[in-house]
Structure 1
Amino acid sequence: MVENGYSFLYLDGQCRYWAFPREYDGSSDSIWSDVVTGKLTPGQEAKLKDDLSVIQWQAWDQKHFHEPGLFDAGTATFWTPMAMFQCSGDCGSNLREEIYTNTRTWIRTLAEQGDPVEGAVRVAAIIMPDEALPNPLQPVPEDIDLREHAVSFGDAYNICFGDGILVTGDVADTLRRYRREYYGGKYGNFDYRYLPLEAADGQKYMVYVRDTTPPEGDNGLVQLEGISTSICPD
């Protein structure tokens, strides 16, 4: 669900962007939110570069900054084809912390002005254990055989980055609709982040769904030069 980042902002060379998440739940990111796409205006492009102090990135190229005494914080990656740096915690300086804060502000701003992406999604399907009692369940869309792709609940811990199944067409549209309905509270409040689906044969599945973006490779991962990506072994 978050193999390309709990939150992200990707920009191509034509001012097209992809931002995630579309909405924020308080101080945390919602992994059920839509990925949003749009185009920067010329004014936004200039302001974004200034707010993120992109001209300074070259001085920090290939460096990783850690907050002293912090061992379990996530890593923020800042990358262009010319320079990249990473940081954890407070990013080790006021300027880098400002860049990090401004990036999150830009994600929120651009997500609000853009449109949800459509098209393909990637999914992971897990056979639902008997003790799970989600309600209500939705029917598995036609034209997809989840039994062919699903893993057991015990084997789900072995799913890793790049294992998602690419789903297109009407099936993708249906899964995205289900996700939006659950996220929007149509079926009440839920404390899990999978779609509870039931096949025609009665088999129940836990299905995780995420949007895809053009920067992804064939395995669904955005590979940035110089940034290692954890993927499953061949």
Structure 2
Amino acid sequence: MRRTVARLASRRSLLLVACAPLLAQGCGEPAADPARAPHDSSADTSTSSGGSASSGGSASGGGSAPNQPPRRVCDGSSGVRLAYQQLGGGAVGTGQSLLVQNGFRYLVVDGQCRYWAFGTQDMKSFWQETRTGTLDAAAEKELAAALAYQDWTSAEAYYPSCDGSTELLWGDSVTRTATAACPDGSEGPHEEIRAQGKAAREWIETLWASGAPVDGPVRLRAVRQPPDLQNTRPTAEWPLEVDIDSVAIDLVDDLQLNIESPGYLVKDDPGIAVLRGYRDKLLAGDFSEYEGQDLLLPMEDGNDVYIVSVRDTVPYENEDGILRPPEPGQ
């Protein structure tokens, strides 16, 4: 194979090509109908106190090969069994590469049928909470069918596009990628993989809507602004026990970071709830001077101003906050 997933994702994240306006619909793709769901309209989709998601109706996609035991998503194991991530370039604001560290969209399901979903059609500048829940037996079966999970085999494919994203599907020791190749490129089963990615994005819409906001740790990045750069936006107070200056980086250093650069992990701090509350206020426009202004979260500490980004975490991230397929043999 010409490239590995890790090298490719890192290289594309450094490009930061200016396709961000397209990413809310899928970079390099026509916008999908936000109301479209992967299930029959008569299906019952609900969230219980445990965050259970159920669905009805039929779904197309892979069936079991003769004499081959079914590949189960919810096999009772504690690891990731099915994951979809939309990775790639895209212009983001100060400190905000952290927000898309694990994809402009992602869906993660483990062997206990727990899921984590992020990146719906209507999210604003990647400032969206991750939601979680539990698939019931019917939803597990339909999700596996929609993504042809039973038929997955490892593949590295390329499709012709100069501003497209990388579609990454993985689980059960299988990794499938379809990556944009500019100016031309057509190699491997890219149409099949991209169709499975499209189906995964439709499931993100449904599962995010039926899930509950995650709690627990967050990752953040605080970017110290130059003294001569005047801030005119409303500001928030730093809510954490740790001193903001001790975890902040300078603006010039932020410009050198890529998507896989780790953020600061915050856990067991009562200020986490306040940070998530700031995110809600940011989306409501409380930190903007006018409608349509870039979504940035300024915080003050004395005479210093910091631009802060914060995102939710998924339990299967590594120590740097990265969620990717395990290396072969791991």
Residue 10 in 1 paired to residue 108 in 2? yes
Residues 97, 219 of structure 1: alpha-carbon distance in 2 compared, 3 angstrom cutoff: closer
* 2:135 aligned partner: 40
Superposition pairs of residues 122-201 of structure 1, within 5 angstroms = 122-129=219-226, 130-160=228-258, 161-168=260-267, 169-188=269-288, 189=291, 191-199=293-301, 201=302
SS at match of 2:310: strand
Cα RMSD over matched residues?
2.2
SS at match of 1:217: coil
Residues 17, 191 of structure 1: alpha-carbon distance in 2 compared, 3 angstrom cutoff: same
SS at match of 2:229: coil
Equivalent in 316, 325, 330 of residue 215 of structure 1:
316
Alpha-carbon distance in structure 2 between the residues aligned to 1:202 and 1:212? 31
Alpha-carbon distance in structure 1 between the residues aligned to 2:125 and 2:108? 18
* 1:98 aligned partner: 195
Alpha-carbon distance in structure 2 between the residues aligned to 1:159 and 1:171? 26
Give the CA deviation at 1:34: 0.5
* 1:231 aligned partner: none
Letter in 1 for 2:272: A
Q: With structure 1 as the length reference, what TM-score do the two structures score?
A: 0.85
Give the CA deviation at 1:36: 0.5
Q: With structure 2 as the length reference, what TM-score do the two structures score?
A: 0.61
CA contact (8 A) 2:158 2:190 kept: no
Structure 1 alignment gaps of length 5 or more: 228-234
Residues 76, 19 of structure 1: alpha-carbon distance in 2 compared, 3 angstrom cutoff: same
Structure 2 alignment gaps of length 5 or more: 1-98, 181-185
Residues 104, 223 of structure 1: alpha-carbon distance in 2 compared, 3 angstrom cutoff: closer
Give the CA deviation at 1:45: 0.2
Give the CA deviation at 1:176: 1.1
Residue 20 in 1 paired to residue 121 in 2? no
* 2:174 aligned partner: 83
Alpha-carbon distance in structure 1 between the residues aligned to 2:193 and 2:251? 41
Give the CA deviation at 1:29: 6.5
Residues 40, 154 of structure 1: alpha-carbon distance in 2 compared, 3 angstrom cutoff: same
Letter in 2 for 1:38: G
